[in-house]
Structures are given as structure tokens and as C-alpha cells.
Amino acid sequence: MKIVATIARYLLGVIFLVFGLNLMFHFLPNPPMPPGPMANFSTALAESHYSIAVGFFQVAPAILLLINRYVPLALTILAAEIVNIDVFHITMAPSGLPLAAVVSILWLLVFLRVKGAFAGIFEPLPQH
């Protein structure tokens, strides 16, 4: 399981590093989008420069995963990103669901390796 989690951590790090940097610096071509909610949403993110913030919150934890430091923090930040990616693909771009599912599975594999670091947040009351 340790090797699988390590491979998943590196893959997750590379995926979010590349796509996060692309949100910030636009080096990968964007496929043409048909008019509709997905195009409107993507245009709003780009024109407001909100996508730069999204890119930052993908790149920063990706680097943490790749250097194997603060992995629980990286997973916490990426959890919010992944939920948004999953919801985006479920509601507006179902063709991207397979990659979104792969990313979610990679996140889960890394999480299972460090789940002890999250033990406190699953307690109903704080321990005194």
C-alpha cells in the first residue's frame, strides 16, 4: 500500500502542478466550448482572474505533495479543489468525469496513507 500511495501522491502532484500552472499561465490550448453554462462559467473565471487564485491553490499543494512535506495540509486544500472539479464535471461537463474520478481516487489513496493525521477532525467533541 505504501508504494501505491507514493505513486498516487506523485501523480496527484504532477496533475495539479501542470493544470494549476496552466490556469495561471495558459500554456495548454483550450478546446473550443459550445455556448452554455460551461462556457459562461469558464469565461467568468478567466475574465475575473479568479482562475489565477484557483491555479495557486492547485500549485501550492501540488508542490507540497511532490516534495512530501505537509501532505495532510496539501490534501485538505486539494479536497476543496477536487469537490469543485467533481461538481463542475457532474453539472456542466460530463465528458471530464473519468479524469475527475481518477483524481478523486488518487486523492483517496494518498489520504488513506496519512489518515491518522485527520483523526481529530472525525471526533464529535474536542478532546480536553
- Count the domains in the chain: 1
Instruction: Let me know if residue 69 belongs to a domain.
Output: yes
CA distance 114 to 97: 26
Residue carrying the nine cell digits 501522491: 9
Per-residue pLDDT 10s for the chain (128 aa) are: 899 999 999 999 999 999 999 999 999 998 888 888 888 998 999 999 999 999 999 999 999 999 999 999 999 999 999 999 999 999 998 999 999 999 999 999 999 999 999 988 888 887 66
CA distance 5 to 109: 5
Instruction: Let me know if residue 128 belongs to a domain.
Output: no
Q: Output the 3-class SS for 38-67.
A: HHHHHHHHHHCCHHHHHHHHHHHHHHHHHC
